[in-house]
Structure 1
Amino acid sequence: MSRPWRVAVVGGGIAGLAAAVRLRDRAPAGTEITVYEQSGALGGKLRTGELAGRPVEFGAESFLMRDPAGGDSAAVTLIRRLGLAERIVHPTVGQAALAVDGGLRPVPGGTLVGVPGERERVATVARPAADADRDGGRPLLGPDEDVAVGTLVRARLGDQVVDRLVDPMLGGVYAGRADDLSLVTTMPALARAARVEHTLTGAVRAAQAAAPRAPGAPVFGTLAGGLSTLVEAAATASGAAIRLQAAVRELTPTAEGWRLTVGPTRDPELVEADAVVLALPARPAARLLAPVTPEVATTIGGLDYASVALVTLALPDPELPALSGFLVPATEGLLIKASTFFTTKWGHLARPDGIALVRASVGRYGDETSLHLADPELVATVHRELSGVLGVALPAPLASHVQRWGGALPQYAPGHGDRVTAARTALRAAHPTLVLAGAGLDGVGIPVCVRSGETAAGEIIEALGGSGS
């Protein structure tokens, strides 16, 4: 190709921005990169706001520091590439709790997303089923098998371990239920170990041993100043043309690549590109794919999502325990499913005036009627339930913020990974210069989304004739 490459990245979340940065770093000099974002802001679920004069996250709050092999996570590597490493900060309080039986109990140690490697370590919260996790003489999972997390854990350790430990932990991340979520997608390390080990507790211990962590090494990090600084730095480093309020409504294959129909129906803009990265949620991606590859669109569009609301309160001198926050099992019957004590968990946010920032998450998949409440009702309910869980009358908030994320969290049913692999294989065979990325396909969490975008960029470079290295 004699002229510079033209690459369109559709979606300005962290996956799309990571793809744009990787393209800038590894595609030939002069490559024209354009990021199209339907909304008025980049970052997707990374959004730093302000409440009572302090920065606070209205979306994702942190990232994993390490990858499964023990090295820097993709998020940390990108942060270093963008020159933000000195901004990384870690929680000053790491202990979280579970709200069970009307009180707070520390989350037991030695578990993997709530699944214990030693049954006795979770006795303060749940009673594992007696003698259910027996060695049956064969691995728990077959070579290509996937099951719902709840199906496996209930059969091996009983209902209480699922309802009081695993379900609230998965709910805090996915707003979903353990009985619906894929083991392979949500807990890949445990799934790998379960293909070898004969007991679930043994699989937990094997998974933990396969990803050793240095004593005292931080698990999570965030950025001083907020995660929106990552978004801004990535956008700048990509050198991409950023198009906000620019909805891509149609993709059409051409002899040289793709034609994008951008903007309102009455006044559309037609844009030519050699390659396209679709870094969108599953359903918008499926709508663009439908005229191009209907079967792939059907597969991708079948993914369901949960909606959530994040309610943040600025409280004057509240009585808070020395915890990072707590999780709430659905069996407790509360509206809130999790809470984070921001100014306790993150020491860099502590305030000399005693104002505490507390955030609660509301909304579970399949039970989202609570999200119909108006903002004032939601704030009042969250404030009341927080007081009840903590056993103290919290002071009235000085300020509050409600962030609603409609259709925000993918729900990965068993077999998700195989379906995505099949869809990508079919798309690559038909249209190698159209590549998919994002949380809907590869999993939630900033490192996963960064890696997804970078992988998509590498595939585009390869398809256009570069090395991608």
Structure 2
Amino acid sequence: MESVRKRVAVVGGGIAGLAAAVRIRDRAPRDTEIIVYEQSGVLGGKLRTGDLAGATVERGAESFLVSAPDGTDSAAVRLARRLGLGDALVHPSAVPAAFATGGRLEPVPAGTLMGVPREWDGPDHDDGRPLLGPDEDVTVGALVRARYGDEVVDRLVDPLLGGVYAGRADRLSLTTTLPALAAAARTEHTLSAAVRTAQAASVRVPGRPVFATVAGGLNRLVAAAAAASSARISLGLPVRELARTPHGWRLLLGPVPAPHTDDVDAVVLAVPAKPAARLLASAHDVAGAEAVGALDYASVALVGMALPPDTPLPELSGFLVPPGEGTLVKAATFVTRKWAHLRRDGGPVIVRASLGRAGEEELLHRDDATLIALAHDELGRLTGGPLPPPAAAWVQRWGGGLPQYAPRHPERVAAARAGLAPGLALAGAAYDGVGIPACVASGEGAADDLCKYLEDS
């Protein structure tokens, strides 16, 4: 009997959705039709490359981890190689980073795990039992404050978590943000022992860089994934509802005055939590919608500035700023010092600042000119003196851009996935972690689930 051609919809054209599309193309029968629906006018999600005074500067995610915890290539590196971009991977220069503390920049302490020290001279007593129960999850701040005190959280852990999640240690899940430390805390009796165990569990290949990016910009990764998927790309067309049919799924598309539908066999939802929850609710998955929709997000703004070539800056790749310093700037990257491939003789000094933490959304509502001036002033104060005016600058806003994983986040995600109707899968940062490797792996996992479903159906 001749097989019927399958159709798969990927809702969301960020890197998770595109990774899912590539994996489906690789695993499903060659005649499988893949449609990527992206509501905005551009693919890539938080991967967006721009120009600043002739330099290629990322306006979203800047780089990705090279290795997985077991020492193998990360999912992002594997995808780049699959897309023919292995030779385009470049790594940051060996320049240290710093913390801002008391208005000064101090080196990031060695031997920490997301700011949590491996060695500790203060109280960290052994109670005769593991720090956490078998299924227990707490905030990062709750565990570290109880063992090491407030100063470690406020000066070391918060700025590092803020740099990655724009969140606060007292609200973020230990299991989701620091899974290796959470696992160790379920067997070790002291935090210092748990940090050592977590670090030992992460395989480090000698001489291997920690981070990488794509020369020419991460937009190349996005474009290559779209091309490799051979998917039909639909931009600017929102998916408003999702309904189960006897043979698969029906998507309600487009504006309310002029809707149309598309029938497919399977769907990957690779969109943020709130739109995913609305689509699940439209498909009568009330429990899944509630579990997914509970996730909060933080907003951030990035400010890129092109400063004169002779601008004096510290010999650093950048720095992180604890919330207690009272600045809207939470991190800064000296782009042309960190990335050698972007330096040009006589070219501008490119600096990128990240503004805003969870709960500071109203402060980011100021206009672009005000945010640029504020970032310029704060960077000057943090680096030791006024900076010359920028020759060019831009602001990139990411409203609701970074998930804030509360304790027991993995349980909520597992419950939501367990209740999904056949032929439906969830992917993206809302479920499996921020960072390009996590999003790629999430998309690939969703694709694998759907390919198995299609094979069996």
TM over 0.5: yes
Q: What is the letter of the counterpart of residue 221 of structure 1? A: A
CA deviations over 1:263-304 (Å, ceiling 9, x no partner): 111111210100000000000000111132011101100101
**Cα deviation digits, residues 296-348 of structure 1 (max 9, x gap):** 10110010100000001000021111211000000010110000010000111
Q: Is 2:353 the partner of 1:360?
A: yes
Letter in 1 for 2:298: A
3-state DSSP of counterpart to 2:419: helix
Give 1:438 deviation, angstroms.
0.5
Q: Distance in 2 between matches of 1:284 and 1:160?
A: 38
Number of matched pairs: 454
Q: More displaced, 216-225 or 398-407?
A: 216-225
Matches within 5 A, 1:62-77: 62-77=63-78
8 A Cα contact 1:20 1:33, kept in partner: yes
Tell me, yes or no, if the aligned pair for 1:27 and 1:466 is still in contact at 8 Å.
no
Q: Which amino acid aligns with 2:26?
A: D
- Residue 169 of structure 2 is matched in structure 1 by 178
User: Which whole-Å CA distance do the structure 1 matches of 2:162 and 2:207 have between them?
Assistant: 27
Q: Which residue of 2 aligns with 1:59?
A: 60
1:61-107 deviations in Å (ceiling 9; x for gaps)? 00000011110000000000001000100011341100001100000
Q: Which residue of 1 aligns with 2:431?
A: 441
Counterpart of 2:368 (choices 355, 371, 375) is 375
Distance (Å, rounded) in 2 between the aligned partners of 1:17 and 1:367: 31
**Distance (Å, rounded) in 2 between the aligned partners of 1:340 and 1:223:** 17
Instruction: Tell me the SS of whatever aligns to 2:127.
Output: coil
Structure 1 residue 294 corresponds to structure 2 residue 323: no
1:269 aligns with 2:260: yes
* CA distance in structure 2 between the partners assigned to 1:356 and 1:448 by the alignment: 31
Which residue in the other structure is 1:127 paired with? none
Check whether the contact 1:115–1:204 (CA below 8 A) recurs between aligned residues: yes
What pairs up with 1:421-440 in 2 under 5 angstroms?
Answer: 421-427=414-420, 431-440=421-430
Counterpart contact for 1:65–1:219, Cα < 8 Å: yes
Counterpart position of 2:126: 135
In the alignment, is the contact (CA less than 8 A) between 1:185 and 1:443 conserved in 2? Answer: yes
Structure 2: gaps of 5 or more residues:
none
1:387-406 to 2 correspondence within 5 Å? 387-406=380-399
Matches of residues 286-325 of structure 1 in structure 2 within 5 Å? 286-292=277-283, 293-316=285-308, 317-325=310-318
Identity score, percent? 64
User: Which one of the candidate residues 241, 253, 257 is aligned to 1:250?
Assistant: 241
Distance 1:5 1:94 in 2: 50
Q: What amino acid does structure 1 have at the position aligned with 2:423? A: T
Alpha-carbon offset, residue 215 of structure 1: 3.1
Match of 1:456 in 2: 446
Aligned counterpart, 2:155: 164
Which residues of 2 match residues 200-215 of structure 1 at below 5 A? 200-215=191-206
Does structure 1 residue 413 correspond to structure 2 residue 409? no
Root-mean-square deviation (CA), in Å? 1.1
1:426, distance to aligned residue in structure 2 (A): 1.1
Supply the distance in 2 between the matched residues of 1:354 and 1:261 (Cα, whole angstroms).
50
The residue that corresponds to 2:102 in the other structure is: 101
Q: Distance in 2 between matches of 1:243 and 1:426?
A: 28
* Structure 1: 5+ residue stretches without partners: 121-129
Deviation at 1:354, TM superposition (A): 4.0
How far apart are 1:134 and its partner, in Å?
Answer: 1.0
CA distance in 2, matches of 1:238, 1:354: 37
Distance in 2 separating the partners of 1:406 and 1:466: 40
Query: 2:19 is matched with which residue?
Result: 18
Report the AA paired with residue 343 of structure 1.
Answer: T
- After TM superposition, the runs of 4+ consecutive aligned structure 1 residues lying more than 3 A away are none
> Do the aligned residues in 2 keep the contact of 1:93 with 1:344 (CA within 8 Å)?
no
> What is the one-letter code of the residue matched to 1:28?
P
CA distance in 1, matches of 2:149, 2:456: 52
Q: Distance in 1 between matches of 2:317 and 2:190?
A: 32
* One-letter amino acid matched to 1:26: R
Match for residue 349 of structure 1?
A: 342
What is the distance in 1 between the residues matched to 2:454 and 2:290? Answer: 27
Counterpart Cα distance in 1 of 2:27 and 2:347: 48
Q: Distance in 1 between matches of 2:150 and 2:360?
A: 20
**What CA deviation, in whole Å up to 9, does each residue of 1:123-178 have, x standing for no partner?**
xxxxxxx32x1111111111101000000000000000000000000000110000
Residue identity in the other structure for 2:152: V
> Is this contact kept in 1: 2:69–2:203, CA < 8 A?
no
Q: Which of 210, 223, 230 is the aligned partner of 2:214?
A: 223
